[in-house]
Amino acid sequence: MQVTRIRPDETEGPVSIDNIEISDINTASNEIDSGTILGLPDQKSDISWIYIPINKPFEVNNKSWSKIEKLLEEILGSDVVAKSKLIKDDFTEVLQNYIETNPDKFELIWKKIGKVYKNISSDINETSLVIYSGSPDEERYRYRSYFPFNCRPCHYHPRRRTSVGLLVTGDFPFSKVNYIENRLKNFLPLVGLTQIPHHGSGKQFGNPITINAEFAFVQYGTRNSYKHPNYGVIDIYESYGIRVLEVTECEYTKFNEIIERM
C-alpha cells in the first residue's frame, strides 16, 4: 500500500478542474500538493471520479514555539535542531524524518512528541485532512442508499442526481469552514453525503459547510469519554434539511451507498 504525503496548502483560491492537471491516482507520487486532483480512470479511460485532498497549513505563535524548540532538542538533540535550521512550519516534517530513520527510538520518545503538540496553541485540528471524493462535473449518476436501522423508516431507494460526491472532514474545526468553502467552491454543489467534523463535537462550532447534501454522517464510539456527538450540532444539520446518520461500532448502524454511472 502506498502512503502519499499531502503538502500543506499554499494557495487560497478555489481549486478548479480547468487549470489543474488531473493525476492518475494509480501513478501519483508519494508526495503531492494540497489541492491536487487525483483521477480514477474507468474502463473508457476517461476520468469519471476524482479525489481532492486539502491540507490547511497552520502557524505556531512565538510563545508556544520557544517551548516546542526545547522539547525538540530533548528528542532530537541540540545538534540536530541546529543543523536542520528549524522553522515553525516544518518541525513536523523534521520529526517525521527522525522517526522514519530511527524507528527503534519511537517507543522512547512518543510521550515527548505528545508534549510538543500539546504546546501548540493553534488548533491542531486545522491540519486535519479534508477530502472531496466524487464526480468532476454535473454528470448524472444513479445512486441507492441503504441503512438498515439507522433511519426511520429504513429503506433502499434508487434515485438519479448529480450530487453524489462525498466530503470527508476528519476533525477539521467548524470555525474554519470558510477556508474549505473557498478551496472547494467548485465542487461543494456536487456533494450529496458529508461527514460531520470531529465526531459531532460542539467545541468551536460554527455553521455547517454550505452544501446540497441529502445525508450527513457522524461517527463515534458509544462509550467515548468526550460525550460526542453534541446533539445541538445534529439539530443544526437537520434544520438545514440534512438527514443525519449516526455510525458507531454497532453493526446495525452501518450505512451503504451504491453509485452507478449512467
**In order along the chain (262 residues), what is the average pLDDT of each group of 10 residues?**
76 71 59 84 65 82 69 73 56 74 78 70 76 84 63 52 87 84 92 92 76 89 92 91 90 80 72
- The whole domain housing 182 covers 5-56+125-261
Residue 154 is predicted with a pLDDT of 47
Q: Is the domain of 79 the same as that of 38?
A: no
Grid look-up 474507468 returns 42
Residue 122: predicted pLDDT: 61
**Shared domain check, 219 and 116:** no
N-term to C-term CA, the chain: 31
pLDDT for position 224 = 94
Last residue of a domain, one of 87, 104, 122: 122
3-state class (DSSP) for residue 80: helix
| C-alpha cell of residue 160 | 438519479
Instruction: Verify that 99 and 131 share a domain, yes or no.
Output: no
221 in the same domain as 109: no
Same domain, 135 and 169: yes
The answer to whether residues 108 and 205 belong to one domain is no
The whole-number pLDDT of residue 25 equals: 56
Task: State the amino acid at position 40 in one-letter form.
Answer: L
Do residue 11 and residue 107 come from a single domain?
no
Residues 75 and 138 in one domain: no
Query: Whole-prediction pTM value?
Result: 0.78
Chain centroid to CA 129: how far? 3
Question: What is the count of structural domains for the chain?
Answer: 2
On the question of a cis peptide bond just before residue 229, with omega within 30 degrees of 0, the verdict is: yes
Q: Both 38 and 68 in a single domain?
A: no
Q: Of 73, 101, 122, which marks where a domain is finished? A: 122
Give the residue from 104, 122, 140 where a domain finishes: 122
User: Both 26 and 150 in a single domain?
Assistant: yes
Claim to verify: residue 42 and residue 152 sit in the same structural domain: yes
State whether 136 and 26 are in the same domain. yes
Beta carbons of 58 and 73 less than 8 angstroms apart? no
